Amino acid sequence: MEWQSLIKRHEGFDAKPYCDQCGTRLARFGFGWDCECRFTRQTPGNITIGYGTNLSGAGIDEKSASILMFDRADAIIRDLESFMWFLNLDSVRWAAIVDMAYAMGVPRFREFKQLDLAMALKSYNNASYAILDSEWHGEAKARCEEDAMMIRSGEWPKAGV
């Protein structure tokens, strides 16, 4: 398994925009499920990103989604390289850390001070406990437990997990 497969499996592919908190498919963009255009004060037409990519129509294809994932992951990895211990991780623990930071964002990942200390000391059991004893565990239980297991054991999850 590679880190890309781990993120893709945890995130899942969806061609259309949705709320990552409740799963509701979004029909409009904004603070609710609808918003007004700030220029005309009318409901906008389509949710569009990039160079005119209409997300509310056909959505995004998997190839484009993969490009966006790689681009976002690249920025996350560059940011994670500020942790000296990150540079020396084996591929499994490296993938778990990238997956965590991808899921929650690097600013929130940086708040895991006990994890940072445990990783620096190569105390992978303590690092695993720090992950499991977090708010994130309540938000993304299966993903959190799998990443914690990978950090503790240094082994990829079994197929079909």
From the options 1.10.1200.10, 1.10.530.40, 3.50.50.60, 3.80.10.10, give the CATH code of 61-161.
1.10.530.40
Q: What's the CA gap between 56 and 5, in Å, rounded? A: 26
* Alpha helix positions (H), the chain: 3-11, 62-80, 91-104, 106-109, 113-120, 124-132, 135-139, 141-153
pLDDT digits (tens, 9 = 90+) for 8-55: 888 877 766 665 555 555 544 333 334 334 444 445 556 666 666 666
pLDDT digits (tens, 9 = 90+) for 121-149: 999 999 999 999 999 999 899 999 999 99
